[in-house]
Structures are given as C-alpha cells and as structure tokens.
A and B are shown apart, each in its own frame.
Chain A
Amino acid sequence: MRVVHYVNQFFGGLGGEEKAGAPLESHEGAVGPGKLLEQLLGIDAQVVLTLICGDNYAVEDQESMIAAALQKVRAANADLFVAGPCFLAGRYGMAAGALCSVVQSKLSIPVIAAMAKENPGADLYREMLYIVDSGDNAAKMQDALTRLASLAKKLIDKKVVGLPKEEGYIPRGLIRDQFVEKTAAQRLVEMVLAKVKEEPFESEMMPTAFAPVPMPPGIKDLKKAKLMLITDGGLVPKGNPDKIQGSAATRWGSYNIKDCADLSGDDYEISHGGYDPQFVRQDPDRLVPLDVMRDLEREGVVGELYDEFLSTSGLANPLSNTRRMGREMAEKAKRLGIDAIILTST
C-alpha cells in the first residue's frame, strides 16, 4: 500500500507560525506523525511521500499548491492519500480538505483527512470526504491516527464503512438503506415519548446546523463605501456564457455593468427554474437594482458601485455547492476591497 501524506509546517517539522509561509515541499518517506501512521496501517503499508506546506502558503496560493501536489501524488502512484490530523488548525484543515477533494475527484483513490469537527475545513468538506474526528487535542494524536488507519484500511479493502459514530468520522450526511427491527412509526413514537419524559433520545436525521456567523459591524461612512451587487436569482447575460445551471448550480459568474445605468431585458436571461421569470426578463432591475444603485452613486449617497455583479442560481442548491460558492464570492469581494454587499434573492 503506497501512501502519500500531507502535513503542515508544524507537523512536518519545519517550525511554527514563523514558517507558515513555507511553499510546498516533498520528502521521501514518512515525516512526523506519518511514521506512526505507517505503523498503524500495517506491514505492507509505506508512506512513500510526505508533502509539507506552510499554512499561509497553502491558503494564499491554494490553486497552484493543489495543482503541484496533485502531480506529485499521481507520480508517486499512491494507493491512499492522507491529510492531517489537523486538530483545530483552521488553515491546515481548509487546505487539507481542499487538497483531499481534488485528489479524490481527479485520481479516484481512497482519501482520508482528520481534524476536529469544529475546524472550518470539517464543515466545508465533510460531505465530500471521510474526515476522522481527531478532536481538538494534539496530545490525542495516536488515538486519531488509530481511527484513521482503521478507516483507511476499510476504504482500501472496499469494505462497508459503518456509521460515523462507530468508525469515528464526522457525519457526511449520507443516507443508506438498512433493514431494522422496528418500524418507523414505532421508532418515532419512542422518540416522542422519550422527549416528553425529558429522557435522552437520538434523532436519526440531523437537521443541518449552521455555525453562527458573527455580524460584521455596520458601515461607518456610506458616502465612501464601495458596494457590490450579488444575486441568486439566476440572472445571466443572454446565452448564459458560463453555463450556470438553473438548479443545483455549481458555478457563478461575474458580469460587467461598467458605464451601465440600467439593465435591459434584451441583454439578459434567467437560469433559474424556481420562479416565473417574465417580470425580471422585462426589467432585470427588478432583481438586480442597478438603476437605483447608479442614482444613489451619482447623488453621492454611496461611494461607488463595483463594475460587476455576481450571479448564480440558488434553486435546490445543496450546501456543498453554496457554501463553496459563497466563500469564493466573499474572497473576490475581499480582494476588491468591497465594503458591503447587497444580495438579492427571489
């Protein structure tokens, strides 16, 4: 079993936060926790390559880092790719998740990450990947690696993977059919009775939880503010050049409105299956209020409107898409120095 292992600068032995800018490097053989991982995976497992990258570099140069790492994993003929355990290190967890999902989709080999369930990488990638819950304590490294190794062996041997609680990975939201003793009605009544008696019970399906996002403070000086318009109503230029899907969209676009004071129905179309588009087709300002924003800009009420509006379709869109797209849009807005965004939705 040829294993490639990804770790950050700290676990890779380069140093602490001062080495967070370290670019991607490769080492033959196991490094740091990789050595224990190798042992736990068994006698015919070998960490043939360890990839080490500084947390800041991994986040700031993510695309190029991932492309380079992918090549190395491919060249190493890996049978298994492991990233982490990242514990609570947020940048590490995000990089590990991003790298794992690319390796998984491009190379179709078993891939496992490990991090604390509160790690932002966990929330973003748990639906796509097996992520072992390492907890937040790096002193529990052995425990995390033991569970990771055990799950990895199941994936390699293509054995049936048990429930998250059994195997120690973060729930993925996957649904699997299974025969059980009691009917749904019986199980439901038992749950209700337990709840009424204030006894513990376990829900079979967990509602999606949203980690609370602290609200940024209000804009202090609107007259100097740089604003951006975003919509999830699926407004796209005629011809839908980016082929944004009307439902469960995986893509978003950024469309030029420079020197434009009014959106015209002739120039746009709607890629969104969830509402009657005729009114927005007649006048797209009914969805993306460009005309009003230009007036406010001209009157000096707001500082400036950014030259493009961002758009996608929010219809029937799973969180695995929208979380990623939201993050990407936010990154763009941040890079452009946008102070505030108005997001319009149908």
Chain B
Amino acid sequence: MVGSNRVVLGNGIVHVLGDAKASADEEKKTRRQLVQKALEALQRDDE
C-alpha cells in the first residue's frame, strides 16, 4: 500500500516517474526526486 515503508507515491498512473505537463528538464528532476525517495526507503530499516 502506498504510504507503507517502502512504497513511494508516484506521479499518477500514466507517468508514474514522469510529468507530461512539465518540460523535459523539470520532468527529469521530478523523476530523480522520486527515485531518490525510493533509495532512501531502501536504506532505512523497518519502522
């Protein structure tokens, strides 16, 4: 379930790691932020 320890909320269904409304650069920034959230979650222990 989203909100669980290692489940990160993506940006909608059709572009989970993207943003169709943003520019290419902005989108890549968003994608990087989401991936980094995931990496942080992977480094944390069970909460």
Contacts and interface: CB of A to CB of B under 8 A. Distances in A.
Interface string B29-47: 0011011001100111110
Interface in B1-47: 5-6, 10, 13-18, 20, 27-28, 31-32, 34-35, 38-39, 42-46
B20 A279 contact: yes
Interface residues of A, number: 32
Given A215-B5, A217-B45, A292-B32, A222 B39 contact: yes
Contacts of A345: 10, 16
A50 B16 CA distance: 52
A179 interface: no
Interface string A272-296: 0001111110010111110111011
27 contacts: A214-B46, A215-B5, A215-B6, A215-B45, A217-B46, A219-B43, A222-B39, A222-B43, A276-B14, A280-B14, A280-B18, A285-B18, A286-B27, A287-B15, A287-B16, A291-B28, A291-B31, A292-B28, A292-B32, A296-B35, A296-B39, A340-B42, A342-B35, A342-B38, A342-B39, A344-B10, A346-B16
Interface of B: 5-6, 10, 13-18, 20, 27-28, 31-32, 34-35, 38-39, 42-46
Interface of A: 214-215, 217-220, 222, 233, 275-280, 283, 285-289, 291-293, 295-296, 301-302, 340, 342, 344-346
